[in-house]
Every structure is written in structure tokens, then in C-alpha cells.
Structure 1
Amino acid sequence: MKSPALAAAFALIAGAAMADGISGTFRTQPNDQGQAGLVEFYDCGGKYCGKLIKSFDKAGAELKTKNTGKNIVANMTDNGGGSFSGGTIWDPGADRTYRSKMVLSGNTLKVSGCIAVFCRTQTWTRAR
């Protein structure tokens, strides 16, 4: 028979592992101009947000931009199993905000954004 303390310990460990799943920094897929960024995820009131911490040109050199420090991803709900939805993603190049969802699998994050019926998906990779 399993002890309640052991079951509680496993539940805490599993909960902590899920909570840490989206934390960290992800490198975006390059945009149409070849620019990429580093987005750092954090808890924002029980949901998840991601702010742009660095940008790079197509040659990989760091770009200074007014968008550094701004949220790119906002208000994502953790649905469990690596699935996130209900938030938005902002494309600073086009200055458009899309309804978004994300799926985390290992160190790969599939990020989808839609306006009306127009949708786009990118693959981001964990940088740290």
C-alpha cells in the first residue's frame, strides 16, 4: 500500500516538472528578413508570458532594437501535456498581434498565431 506522504511527494515533483517546462529562453525561427530573437518565458499572474531579450540579424550579429524587453507572448494558459493556449503573440516587424497557441516537445516549441483565417507557425528552440 502506498503511503499518502509518498503519493504527495510524487505529485509535488510532477507539478514542479510541468511548471518548469516552459520556463527559460527560446530562440525564435528567423522572420522574413532573416532576423531572430531570444524570448524569455516567465509566470505573469498564473499564465505565461515571453519577453524579447535579444535580437539578431541574418548574419547572427546582435541588433539593438526598441522592442528589447517587450512582451512578444502574453497570457498563455498551461493546458498540461506541453500544450498552451488562450494567449497572444506579437510580431514586432509587422506590428500585429495574433491569437496564439504553443506546443512544447522537449527543447522545441511550436508557436502558432492566427488573425481571422490567416495562420502562421514557427518552431522555436530552447537556448537555455
Structure 2
Amino acid sequence: MHKYFRKFIVPAIAAIATLTPVYALGDPIIGIWKTEPDRKNLVSDIKITACGDKFCGQILSAYDASGKAVQTPNIGKKLFWDVGSQGGGKYGGGEFWVPLVDVDAVPQMTLKGDTLMVKGCEHHICAHQTWTRE
């Protein structure tokens, strides 16, 4: 069994480890984030995960002003993708979908502790929110 382990299992583990870079798996941006209320006064939970060597975010749920869960057609959709770490708590690149106006924007994110400053710009028009870790 020792030879089998060294011959087959160790190379398999090494191959799996190279599929997702280690730095992305332990990155502090990964997790569940609560948005600020949008123009419809809804708050959403966004799940940020590693997508290869970049990051993506998906809308998990939405809540009205009283905290009651609401169903929207955006739940389950990707909010951003191909966002990369730029070091020093800064993230950018990729694309950000703005559901309220159905526009793609260039995301810029800054992580400070349990706060994520999220900014999206389309040409010279920018919008921003501060998200908090769940």
C-alpha cells in the first residue's frame, strides 16, 4: 500500500492542488457579504468564491427593509466574475453586472477587515456600496 500511495495518490493530490491556486482558496475576500440597500430598498447576500485564480460573486438571497426574504429573478445569478487580487486588499478587473440598470461595469473593490468597498464604473459613471461580512 505504501508504494501505491506514493505512486498514485501523491501525484493525484499534487494535480488537484494545481487546479486552484492556494492563495485564492485562503483569500480574505472569500465568504458571504451583505450589501447596502439598493434603490428598491432591498439588501442582498453575495457569496464570493475563488473561480480559478480569480474571484466571482453570486447573489444568494434578498431581503426587504423589515428583513423578510423576498424572491427576485436575480437570485442565483452571477454579480461579478474574473476579478483578480491586486495586492494590499485591492481587487479589480473582470466584469460587474449592475442588476438595477442591467449594465456591465468594471469593478474595483477594497477590503478592510470585515468591510468591502465595492465600486463599479461604466465609462465615466460610477456607483459604490459598502458591503459587510456575514
Q: TM-score, normalized by length of structure 2?
A: 0.78
Check whether the contact 1:35–1:56 (CA below 8 A) recurs between aligned residues.
Answer: yes
Check whether the contact 1:18–1:80 (CA below 8 A) recurs between aligned residues.
Answer: no
Q: Which whole-Å deviations, capped at 9, do the CAs of 1:59-90 have from their partners, x for residues lacking one?
A: 22111122111111211001111110102221
Question: What is the one-letter code of the residue matched to 1:33?
Answer: K
Check whether the contact 2:115–2:132 (CA below 8 A) recurs between aligned residues.
Answer: yes
Q: Which whole-Å deviations, capped at 9, do the CAs of 1:75-125 have from their partners, x for residues lacking one?
A: 100111111010222121221111111000000000000111011111000
Match of 1:50 in 2: 57
Match of 2:17 in 1: none
4+ runs deviating over 2 angstroms = 15-20
Match of 2:26 in 1: 19
| Alpha-carbon distance in 2 for matches of 1:30, 1:88 | 21
Question: What is the one-letter code of the residue matched to 2:100?
Answer: G
Check whether the contact 2:43–2:62 (CA below 8 A) recurs between aligned residues.
Answer: yes
Question: What is the one-letter code of the residue matched to 1:102?
Answer: M
Q: Which whole-Å deviations, capped at 9, do the CAs of 1:9-34 have from their partners, x for residues lacking one?
A: xxxxxx75993311100001111121
Q: In the alignment, which of 87, 107, 115 is matched to residue 114 of structure 2?
A: 107
Match of 1:61 in 2: 68
Question: What is the one-letter code of the residue matched to 1:83?
Answer: K
RMSD: 1.7
Percent same amino acid at aligned positions?
Answer: 35
Q: 1:65 to 1:17 in 2, by over 3 A?
A: closer
Check whether the contact 1:33–1:58 (CA below 8 A) recurs between aligned residues.
Answer: no
**Greater RCO structure (CA 8 Å; 6+ sep):** 1
Match of 1:6 in 2: none
The yes-or-no answer on 1:118 pairing with 2:118 is: no
Q: How many pairs were matched up?
A: 113
Structure 2: runs of 5 or more not aligned: 1-21
Q: Which has the larger radius of gyration?
A: 2
Q: TM-score, normalized by length of structure 1?
A: 0.81
